[in-house]
Amino acid sequence: MYEYCEVIMDISIPYYEDNSRISNSNIGWFLNKGPAYLYKKLSGQIEDETSQSMTKGTMIHEYLLQPEEFQKDYVVWDKCRPSSVNEEKFCQALADSVEIEPNKSLLSAYKAAYSTSGKSDDKMLSEATKKASTLKEYIEFLKCKDQREMITPYSANQLVKIKDNIAKHKAACKLLQPADNEKVFHEFHINWEYISYKDYHDVEFTCDCKSLLDSVTFDYNKKEVTLMDLKTTSHLHNFADAVNMYDYTRQLYFYTKAIKWYITNELHEDGDTWRFKWYIIAIDSLTSDIRVFTFSYKQVYGENVEKVRNAIRDIVWHKVHGLWEHSRAYYEGDGIENLNL
């Protein structure tokens, strides 16, 4: 039985807090939005974008791959919740109140959240009392400083349906349930170094990188890696569009480079001698239906070898020179740039 080595790479800085390293998302921002945008992201001038679909995707990832973390981060809430910004503000003010006298606390919270024009204290107290009674459980939740995100019973049922659909899918269930001779890692964090060579010996440039893989399975006896990614999508039956739109094969290639570095530097094996298999489990964001897609070596490598190399090369150039407002071609030329059509 193969004995894998203990990981010695430094991952003490949480993945999303480490802006000293380049990720696949960073490359995407650089390619699609330019160096100035990437610089602002890395320097914290632009906060991470969180859309409804991204939030749902994160929830599904945790539910399927990190159930213990899911329990820490989410709570199913079937009781009353605020239906407006004003109600939310009222509840928060009441939860934060240190006033001993209940009526004073209610009045203060009401005045902090609502207009008091033309209303007597008795009127405001009456309305505040009714709201506090209706939203009692929610206010108590806030008082406990519980940081878990509330999800509806409908969302919880969707998660159960997704898990059931994966269990019934003849391919998806196997990808999430490794064989006895395999070792699977979910949310696998690798800090690694990208190295570009002029030839087989001379280093052209290097770059510190980071990757957080949904799921990677190692078969140490066969020297085989299975790389699997979960994607929620509204394009389940035209998934090629999503693959092209979001450059998923570039992500698979970048992750492959990370795993090869890991095999070479942490397992002390030749990463180039290991075989790779690539899969995406696509989950319909509306119906919770499942499809599993495989990708060939040509699809993963293909144009992504040069795309990733050129992007990292230029990012390193911008870092070294401290120039981010324009492209590298702008700085090195006459300001006129070519398009690769």
Residue (of 271, 177, 292, 172) closest to 225 by Cα position: 271
Domains of the chain: 15-73+154-321 (3.90.320.10), 79-151 (no CATH)
Q: Which residue has the tokens 């509306």?
A: 286
Mean pLDDT of 55-66: 92
Mean pLDDT of 236-254: 97
Q: How far apart are CA 277 and CA 113, in angstroms?
A: 56
Residue (of 91, 192, 187) closest to 137 by Cα position: 91
Render pLDDT for 151-185 as a digit per residue (tens, 0 to 9).
999 999 999 999 999 999 999 999 988 788 889 99
Q: How far apart are CA 126 and CA 119, in angstroms?
A: 11
In the predicted structure, residue 327 carries a pLDDT above the cut 50: yes
| 3 state SS of 204 | strand
Kindly report the length of the chain. 341
Tokens linked to 303: 């144009």
Tokens linked to 223: 């020297």
| 3 state SS of 109 | helix
> In this predicted structure, what is the pLDDT of residue 8?
66
- Mean of per-residue pLDDT scores for the chain: 92
Render pLDDT for 67-96 as a digit per residue (tens, 0 to 9).
999 999 999 999 999 999 999 999 999 999
Tokens linked to 169: 């899918």
**Percentage with pLDDT > 90 across the chain:** 84
Least confident span in 7-21, 26-40, 274-288? 7-21
Mean pLDDT of 254-266: 97
> In this predicted structure, what is the pLDDT of residue 199?
67
pLDDT band at 2 (very low <50, low <70, confident <90, very high): very low
Mean pLDDT of 272-297: 96
Least confident span in 39-48, 75-84, 89-98, 231-240? 39-48
> In this predicted structure, what is the pLDDT of residue 180?
81
Q: How far apart are CA 264 and CA 273, in angstroms?
A: 10
> In this predicted structure, what is the pLDDT of residue 202?
76
Q: How far from chain centre, in Å, is Cα 183?
A: 23
Q: What is the DSSP string of 224-256?
A: EEEEEEEEEES-GGGHHHHHHHHTHHHHHHHHH
**Percentage with pLDDT > 70 across the chain:** 96
In the predicted structure, residue 1 carries a pLDDT above the cut 50: no
> In this predicted structure, what is the pLDDT of residue 289?
97
In the predicted structure, residue 49 carries a pLDDT above the cut 90: no
Mean pLDDT of 47-51: 70
pLDDT band at 51 (very low <50, low <70, confident <90, very high): low
Residue (of 221, 220, 206, 222) closest to 257 by Cα position: 206
pLDDT band at 3 (very low <50, low <70, confident <90, very high): very low
The torsion defined by the Cα of 11, 17, 21 and 24, in degrees rounded to 10, comes to 100
Query: CA–CA distance from 332 to each of 111, 160, 337 (Å)?
Result: 60, 55, 10
pLDDT band at 253 (very low <50, low <70, confident <90, very high): very high
pLDDT band at 5 (very low <50, low <70, confident <90, very high): very low
In the predicted structure, residue 233 carries a pLDDT above the cut 50: yes
Mean pLDDT of 32-44: 95
Least confident span in 45-54, 256-265, 330-339? 45-54
Query: CA–CA distance from 290 to each of 192, 249, 280 (Å)?
Result: 32, 19, 10
